[in-house]
Amino acid sequence: MAEIVDLRSDTLTRPTEAMRRAMASADVGDDVYGEDPTVLALEERVADLFGHAAALFTPTGSMANVLAVRSVVAPGQEVLCESSAHIVRAELGAHAVTQGVTTRTWTHPRGHVDLEAVRSLHAPDMGPFFVPTAAVSVENTHNFAGGTVTPVADLQALRSWADEVGCKVHLDGARIWNAHVATGTELAAYGGIADVLAVCLSKGLGAPVGSLLVGSTEAIAEARVWRKRMGGGMRQVGILAAAGLHALDHHVERLAKDHDHARLLAEACGVDPAQVETNIVVVPRDDAASFVAAAAQEGVRVSAVGPRTVRLVTHLDVGPEAVRRAAAVLARL
């Protein structure tokens, strides 16, 4: 029987043999003491890539986002974001539950920043009973909008406005590598629009675990304390940081293949491939759950991200042959 093609998420990848070798031979120390050389090397490299002073290795993108948002939004303040942003839809309310952060949202069909909406929502000081706005959060690429890329010019316009009014900017860059490869925009250009950003190694880059928070020396020093407070102080974790360094060396440019595969699958599902910018395809279906079940019957795993929305995600563990097989099944369905 043909192997199952799993398109539910790009988090499903298993470390390659070469990545496992890099992990096995990693130099390690106790990272809570700041003595793991591989973690320090990863943090320095990622901070440099984004043009910031420092970075902090975290177990998950969700923790990196919570630490990042808390560094720019105090308890009782609000962050503005798009209504289907991961921070507001898919982190189980962590920002509210653990940090007392509230949210107001704008809606954009492709998950982009809407500067006009941001301007009208922005309320840093409206008197004694309104929640003060402290920051705007943007997600690039945008997961639930379908791996869409916000144009860097829009992000730069947001940055200019934020500087004028004294507002902070957080970037959820879980898949910023995909935006970089899809558009050729330098990672430092994305870094330059944000006070603080979160990036993931465990999505398209294929590391088994790991994300980083990137920002100023002060923000990262404070986040290091909060990471420990939240139970995220890890010890000889260079083993995992080595997977991240390997991914940065070998798995960034290849994301272009995932993007090509996503366009192929989009075509098979009747979605305009021109709408697919990176590795995520969103397929509207009358009954997402029954489509997911029918595809699973034929060995193709996809997920429902809404009652009428199916999502397919391409990644390192889905090669061209598997993509062709999945495309045939999905086209038939």
- Residues binding ligand PLP (CB under 6 A): 60-62, 65, 86, 139, 143, 172, 174, 200, 202, 211
Compare residues 174 and 300 and give the one whose CB is closer to ligand PLP. Answer: 174
Contact 167, 194 (CB under 8 A): no
Compare residues 198 and 329 and give the one whose CB is closer to ligand PLP. Answer: 198
Compare residues 39 and 138 and give the one whose CB is closer to ligand PLP. Answer: 138
Compare residues 59 and 238 and give the one whose CB is closer to ligand PLP. Answer: 59
- CA gap 4, 23 in Å, rounded: 27
Q: Is 90 helix (H, G, I), strand (E, B) or coil?
A: coil
Compare residues 63 and 329 and give the one whose CB is closer to ligand PLP. Answer: 63
Query: Is residue 226 within a helix (H) or strand (E), and if so which, with residue range?
Result: helix 217-229
Task: List residues bridging with 289 in a β-sheet.
Answer: none
Q: How far is the CB of 99 from ligand PLP (least distance, A)?
A: 16
Token pair for 175 = 């898949």
Q: How far is the CB of 60 from ligand PLP (least distance, A)?
A: 3
Q: How far is the CB of 58 from ligand PLP (least distance, A)?
A: 9
Compare residues 61 and 238 and give the one whose CB is closer to ligand PLP. Answer: 61
Q: Is 333 helix (H, G, I), strand (E, B) or coil?
A: coil
Compare residues 86 and 268 and give the one whose CB is closer to ligand PLP. Answer: 86
Compare residues 59 and 268 and give the one whose CB is closer to ligand PLP. Answer: 59
Non-local (6+) Cβ contacts of 191 within 8 A are 49, 50, 51, 52, 197, 214
Q: How far is the CB of 255 from ligand PLP (least distance, A)?
A: 15
Token pair for 69 = 């948002």
264-299 in b/e burial notation, b at 16+ Cβ within 10 A? bbbbbbebeeeebbbbbbbbebeebeebbebbeebb
Token pair for 209 = 């675990």
Q: How far is the CB of 160 from ligand PLP (least distance, A)?
A: 24
Largest CA distance in the chain: 66
Q: How far is the CB of 193 from ligand PLP (least distance, A)?
A: 16
- CA gap 126, 145 in Å, rounded: 32
Residue nearest to ligand PLP (CB): 61
Q: How far is the CB of 165 from ligand PLP (least distance, A)?
A: 26
Q: How far is the CB of 115 from ligand PLP (least distance, A)?
A: 21
DSSP of 241-276: HHHHHHHHHHSSTTHHHHHHHHHHHHHHTT--GGG-
